[in-house]
Amino acid sequence: MPWQTISKQIEAATGEPFKVVSTHPLSGGDINTAFLLKGDRKSYFIKLNKAELSLMFEAELAGLQELAKTQTIRVPMPITCGQASEQAYLVLEYIFFGSKNKTSERLLGQQLALMHRQQQPYFGWHRQNTIGSTLQSNIKSDEWLTFWREQRLTFQLQLLAKKGYTGKLQLDGERLCSELPLLFTQYQPQASLLHGDLWAGNAAVDQQGRPIIFDPACYYGDREADLAMTELFGGFSQDFYAAYQNVWPLEAGYAVRKTFYNLYHILNHLNLFGGGYLRQAESMMSLILSEIH
Ligand code: ADP
């Protein structure tokens, strides 16, 4: 394990001496192996993966920096990333978790709405990142629908075509791409800073009861995409949604666009995990197309 190099890099990044006291493998990650690196003064959260995935860690570090700058929701402070012993590594502040409660859920809702208030005059981001382990393109665009059509739906559909998912999925996908302006006749999305992969596994609470988010796939886009994802796999309470709406209410038509936005994640899951996600993607497409007409 590349602990020696990582320790040196921690010292370089923080400007403080760091000595490893112990290392502990952690469970829970989908994609990487994770460790608690205990030092004499501070502890760090380390993710390791194959060296060729170091761009993924660079993007995660940049995403955490972008979220941290907003001073809205707590994120693990990103320390450094790089390659050592043929592995890519990412070093973050280690946060000891506490338990969610009504107050922390409310705070998360309020703080997410404030985070979404951080906006740009363009959709996208200054760099690509990953969603799961799939590349996520974020080329800046003035046009949200073009951005979503090309860099989200078509991108995933093309990956799927290469994997042999042709036929109905592709035909419905093309139809959806050409008809998607019909979902946006009364609604003009703004370019908010998004977490981008906001499912319950990427949110927690620290020991002081403050909400934390991590493992982002940031870009500037319609805030509804973040909200939609919180509903895709569940785990966020009514307190969370009520608090969000209190700060910045959602607009009419969200319920339909929610399925549209979540389709992206289901297409990505189909790309990553295959199987049952095909039926889910097809039925989501049918639902959205039926809502349009
Ligand atoms: P992966 O990219 O492999 O999915 P995550 O970033 O989701 O990994 O982290 C895996 C798990 O490690 C999380 O579910 C969480 O429980 C824990 N975790 C993540 N970041 C930290 C951190 N900075 N400090 C302590 N625990 C963390």
Tens-place pLDDT, residues 177-188: 999 999 999 999
Average pLDDT over the chain, rounded to an integer:
96
Collect all residues with Cβ–Cβ distance below 8 Å to 270 and sequence separation of at least 6: 160, 165, 277, 278, 280, 281
**CB of 142 shorter than 6 A to ligand 1:** no
The residue written with tokens 């390791």 in the block is 48
Per-residue pLDDT tens digits for 211-240: 999 999 999 999 999 999 999 999 999 999
Q: Which two tokens stand for residue 270?
A: 């189909």
Residue located via tokens 């295959």: 274
76 CA: nearest ligand 1 atom: 23
What proportion of the chain, given as a percentage, has pLDDT over 70?
Answer: 99
Q: Is 200 in the pocket of ligand 1 (CB under 6 A)?
A: no
The whole-angstrom separation of Cα 216 and Cα 197 is 6
Asked if residue 28 has pLDDT above 80, the reply is no
C-alpha of residue 29 to centroid of ligand 1, in Å: 6
- Decide whether any atom of ligand 1 lies within 6 Å of the 29 Cβ: yes
Q: Please confirm, yes or no, whether 206 is among the known catalytic residues.
A: no
Structural contact between residues 5 and 46, judged by C-beta atoms closer than 8 angstroms: no
**Catalytic residue chosen out of the listed positions 30, 142, 197, 206:** 197
Angle at 70 between CA 36 and CA 78, to 5 degrees: 25
Does ligand 1 lie within 6 Å of residue 44's CB atom?
no
Structure tokens at 277: 């996600």
CA distance 141 to 189: 13
If you average pLDDT over residues 138-158, what whole number do you get? Answer: 98
Token output for 98: 């506490």
Q: What is the residue extent of each domain of the chain? A: 3-93, 102-292
Looking only at the bridges linking them, the beta strands covering 192-194 and 203-205 are unpaired
3-93 folds as Phosphorylase Kinase; domain 1 (3.30.200)
Q: Which of 7, 60, 78 is CA-nearest to residue 195? A: 60
CA 176 – ligand 1 centroid, Å: 35
* DSSP-derived secondary structure letter, 79: E
* pLDDT of amino acid 189: 98
Give CA–CA dist 290/131, Å, rounded: 28
CATH topology of domain 102-292: Aminoglycoside 3'-phosphotransferase; Chain: A, domain 2 (3.90.1200)
Q: Write down the pTM of the prediction.
A: 0.96
Task: Compute how many other C-beta atoms are within 10 angstroms of the C-beta atom of residue 265.
Answer: 22
The finding on whether 31 has its CB within 6 A of some atom of ligand 1 is yes
pLDDT band at 112 (very low <50, low <70, confident <90, very high): very high
Specify the residue for token string 């339909």: 256
Query: Which residue in 78, 198, 213, 56 sits closest to 136, CA to CA?
Result: 56
Does 3-93 match 102-292 in CATH topology?
Answer: no
**135 forms bridges with which residues in the sheet?**
130
Residue nearest to atom 19 of ligand 1 (CA): 214
Shortest-distance Cα residue to atom 3 of ligand 1: 29
Provide the β-strand partners of residue 91: 46, 80
pLDDT of residue 1: 82
Which ligand 1 atom lies nearest to the CA of residue 95? 24
Question: pLDDT, tens digit, for every residue of 256-273?
Answer: 999 999 999 999 999 999
Q: What is the mean pLDDT of residues 128-133?
A: 95
Interval 32-55: pLDDT, tens: 899 999 998 899 999 999 999 999
- 8 A C-beta contact, residue 138 and residue 122: no
Residues 6+ apart with CB under 8 A from 123: 140, 141, 142, 143, 144, 147, 191, 219, 220, 221
Cβ–Cβ < 8 Å for 70, 216: no
* Gap between the Cα atoms of 218 and 64, Å rounded: 8
